[in-house]
Structure 1
């Protein structure tokens, strides 16, 4: 259930929704952080749901002591009206027994808001790639049929590679092909739901391993930016994304000197 932080519920009709999947390396969440921090997107609401592990904290994008005490939750919604952009940042794992309910909640919200398109940022285990997935870029995409009609040609012109289907029985060449996204959380199931509900959604994912996934987040968000043009890319160099202050504690505090 979406709860607005203001008196009126904002209208997102015609907006683009970007959200992460809770997946390997938390790459989608890191990429969403970069968008919110760089565009200085204000928090306009949050999800009140029993599907996520409860969590609350200080403002992860604070730029001064005045806004550091603002509350952040496990599912914050930020918006940029000029760009017609909404980012749903998910900061907590989905409770195992509530995964299906959470997917239904997301699909219902997407349909009620009338988003122009949804972009799901995700990741998948690099060590479980099929042979054909070892070549070329580590980024892959999926488009639902309704979005493919509109953006299919444009995405192909960017040189993106579609997520390959792999054989159910690898040793049998003519066996059934299936979509396999290990470590992707709800990515595959939510994509299937959106296909069935005729929702325009794109999945943009990266093959990665657990560890320092900051470079993966930059790769993922730069790929999405080539498509959506959230920030203009300079003639020389790359887009300067602003790292949020909360990333300074991404790997915890340093080693206490008193230990030595």
Structure 2
């Protein structure tokens, strides 16, 4: 894997927190990063907002089948070498897998952190988020990820990162899990912010996931002074993210 900076640009040491998406259902992570990049008015080097001490990476296309762990390991090497201290991974989860549905307080945010071995983080708990209950570091699939991330020469199972039929296998098979394991193995602080969604127009979910990321890193979206409610700047790319609107035309019905 090769990383190329724009000519004359470099990665600033003060941008020690990196926010990136993991490919997932509904593309909520990518939409949230779009929103954060536009709202912080990040400079394109690989997207940095030095005034906020943040760096961003956007990913559009999927990873080749069976190469997710290789990608995550290479990416983790690059992130560690570039001096990042905290990596925030934004992702969504399949709503059909949600075991305890409670929409009384709106979209529920979940997290997974490298701070403690069991995935907990007091800072995230204080923000009212729940640790991903399905995370079990002793489960064979999570152990398998950790083993590969730490450099064990086991061959990657090409079917591993393509999703699983069993609920307990679903979560470690997702891209965020590989990124989490490989970044953690490099000694980096990693926080995954996760929400459940379905396919469709998930812009509202993206706002909530981006807002959660802001809370985590201590930003107030209202200070962005954007053109949307809450201070956000709507990304230009969102104008056609779900294709052009339907043509407006008159319908003529003949009755006889």
Q: Give TM-score, length-normalised by structure 1.
A: 0.72
Which shows bigger deviation, 98-107 or 86-95? 98-107
1:228 is the counterpart of 2:201:
no
In the alignment, the residues of structure 1 paired with residue 222 and residue 85 of structure 2 have an alpha-carbon distance, to the nearest angstrom, of 23
Bigger fraction of residues in helix? 2
Runs of 5+ in structure 2 lacking a partner? Answer: 140-166, 224-228, 252-256
Partner of 1:66: none
Alignment partner of 1:216 is 2:216: no
Structure-2 residue corresponding to 1:102:
71
Which residue matches 2:10?
Answer: 9
2-structure distance, mates of 1:147, 1:7: 41
Task: Work out the CA distance in 2 between the residues paired with 1:226 and 1:7.
Answer: 32
Matched, 1:197 2:186: yes
In structure 1, stretches of 5+ residues that fail to align are 45-76, 169-176
Q: Distance in 2 between matches of 1:222 and 1:8?
A: 29
- SS of 2:130's equivalent in the other structure is coil
SS of 1:215's equivalent in the other structure is helix
Deviation at 1:97, TM superposition (A): 3.6
Q: Which residue of 1 aligns with 2:28?
A: 27
Which runs of structure 1 show a deviation greater than 4 angstroms over 4 or more consecutive aligned residues? 146-149, 177-180, 257-260
Q: Which residue of 2 aligns with 1:81?
A: 50
Alignment equivalent of 2:234, drawn from 243, 246, 249: 243
Deviations 1:5-55 (A, max 9, x none): 0335323366100000010000000000011111111111xxxxxxxxxxx
Instruction: Work out whether residues 107 and 193 of structure 1, in 8 Å CA contact, stay in contact via their aligned partners in 2.
Output: yes
Aligned equivalent of 2:114: 144
Q: What TM-score results when the alignment is normalised by the length of structure 2?
A: 0.73
Number of the residue aligned with 1:162: 131
3-state SS in 2 of match to 1:100:
helix
In the alignment of these two chains, the number of paired residues is 214
Deviations 1:181-231 (A, max 9, x none): 28x841112212233332211000100000110011011111221221233
Residue of structure 2 aligned with 1:116, choices 85, 88, 91: 85
Structure 1 pair 20/108, CA: closer, same or farther in 2 (3 Å)?
A: same
Task: Give the Cα–Cα distance (whole angstroms) in 2 for the partners of residues 259 and 105 of structure 1.
Answer: 55
For 1:181, the equivalent position in structure 2 comes to: 171
Cα shift readout 1:110-164 (whole Å, capped 9, x = no counterpart): 110121200000000011122xx32365210010137999x93322221111110
